[in-house]
Structure 1
Amino acid sequence: MIQPTLLKKQRLILFSLLLLIPITILIGLGIGYSALSYDRLIPTFLGKGSFKEEFVLFSIRLPRIIITLLAGMGLALSGAILQGITRNDLADPGIIGINSGAGVAIAVFFLYFLIEAGSFIYLLPLVAFIGALLTASLIYIFSYKKSVGVQPIKLVLVGVGFSMALSGAMIVLVSSAERAKVDFIAKWLAGNIWGTDWPFILAVLPWLAILIPFTLFKANQLNLLGLGEPVAIGVGVSIEKERITLMFAAVALAAAAVSVTGGITFIGLMAPHIAKAFVGPRNQLFIPIAILIGGWLLLAADTVGRNIGDTEGLPAGIVVALIGAPYFIYLLLKKS
Structure 2
Amino acid sequence: MIPQELIKKQRIVMLVLIILVGITAVISAGIGFSTLSFERLLPTLFGYGTFKEEFVLFSIRLPRIIITFLAGMALALSGVILQGITRNDLADPGIIGINSGAGVAIALFFLFSPIDPGSFVYMLPIVAFSGALLTALLIYLLSYDRKVGLQPVRLVLVGIGFSMALSGLMILLISSAEREKVDFISKWLAGNIWGADWPFILALLPWLVILIPFTLYKANKLNLLGLSEPVAIGVGVAIEKERIILLLTAVALAASAVSVTGGIAFIGLMAPHIAKSLVGPRHQLFIPVALLIGGWLLLFADSVGRNVIEPNGIPAGVMVALIGAPYFMYLLMKK
The TM-score bracket by the shorter chain reads: over 0.9
Distance 2:117 2:26 in 1: 31
Q: Give the Cα separation in 1 of the matches to 2:308 and 2:211.
A: 34
Partner letter of residue 291 of structure 1?
A: L
Partner of 2:261: 261
SS of structure 2 residue aligned to 1:127: helix
1:47-95 superposed Cα distances (whole Å, 9 cap, x missing partner): 1211111110000000000000000000000000000000000000000
Q: Which runs of 4+ in 1 moved over 4 A?
A: 116-119
Aligned partners of 2:308, 2:187: CA distance in 1, in Å? 16
Instruction: Tell me the distance in 2 between the aligned counterparts of 1:283 and 1:147.
Output: 28
- The TM-score, its normalising length taken from structure 1, stands at 0.99
Cα displacement string for residues 260-302 of structure 1 (whole angstroms, at most 9, x for unaligned residues): 0000000000000000001111100111100000000000000
| Distance (whole Å) between structure 2 residues aligned to residue 195 and residue 271 of structure 1 | 23
Tell me the residue number matched to 1:292: 292
* CA distance in structure 1 between the partners assigned to 2:316 and 2:112 by the alignment: 27
Change (3 A) 1:116 1:33: closer
Query: How is 1:1-336 mapped onto 2 (pairs within 5 angstroms)?
Result: 1-115=1-115, 119-335=119-335
Q: Distance in 2 between matches of 1:30 and 1:226?
A: 43
- For residues 80-118 of structure 1, the C-alpha deviation after alignment (integer angstroms, 9 at most, x for no partner) is 000000000000000000000000000000000123655
Tell me the amino acid that sits aligned with residue 49 of structure 1: G
Amino acid of the residue matched to residue 24 of structure 2? T
Q: Distance in 2 between matches of 1:219 and 1:114?
A: 42
Mean Cα displacement is larger for which, 260-269 or 15-24?
15-24
Letter aligned with residue 61 of structure 2 = R
Query: Relative to structure 2, which stretch is displaced further, 311-320 or 112-121?
Result: 112-121
| Counterpart amino acid of residue 312 in structure 2 | E
Question: What amino acid sits opposite 2:94 in the alignment?
Answer: G
Q: 1:250 to 1:22 in 2, by over 3 A?
A: same
Measured in 2, the distance between the counterparts of 1:266 and 1:273 equals: 11
Contact 2:110/2:117 (8 A) holds in 1: no
Q: Provide the C-alpha distance between the structure 2 equivalents of 1:301 and 1:183, rounded to a whole number of angstroms.
A: 22
| 3-state SS in 1 of match to 2:131 | helix
Give the AA of the match of 2:146. K
Give aligned-pair identity as a percent: 75
Amino acid of the residue matched to residue 137 of structure 2?
Answer: S
- 1:25 and 1:322 map into 2 onto residues whose CA distance is 21
Q: Distance in 1 between matches of 2:275 and 2:178?
A: 43
Instruction: Give the AA of the match of 1:262.
Output: G
Q: Deviations over 1:147-202 (max 9, x none)?
A: 11110110000000000000010011001100000000000000000001000000
- Which structure 1 segments of 5+ residues have no match? none
Whether the aligned pair in 1 keeps the contact of 2:101 and 2:166 (CA below 8 Å) is yes
In structure 1, distance between residues paired with 2:322 and 2:46 = 38
* Contact 2:272 2:287 (C-alpha < 8 Å) held by counterparts: yes
Given the two structures, how large is their TM-score scaled by the length of structure 2? Answer: 0.99
In 2, distance between residues paired with 1:62 and 1:119? 21
| Cα shift at 1:43 | 1.4
The C-alpha deviation readout for 1:244-271, integer Å capped at 9, x for no partner, is 0000000000000000000000000000
Q: Matched residue of 2:33: which SS? A: coil
Number of positions where the alignment pairs a residue of Structure 1 with one of Structure 2: 335
Q: Distance in 2 between matches of 1:228 and 1:82?
A: 16
- The range that moved more, 18-27 or 241-250, is 18-27
Pick which of 83-92 and 2-11 moved more.
Answer: 2-11
- Shift of the alpha carbon at 1:310? 2.0
Q: What is the distance in 2 between the residues matched to 1:2 and 1:217?
A: 16
User: In structure 1, how many angstroms separate the alpha carbons of the residues matched to 2:181 and 2:117?
Assistant: 14
C-alpha separation in 1, matches of 2:256 and 2:73: 11
Instruction: Report the residue type matching 2:238 in the other structure.
Output: S
Distance 2:81 2:116 in 1: 34
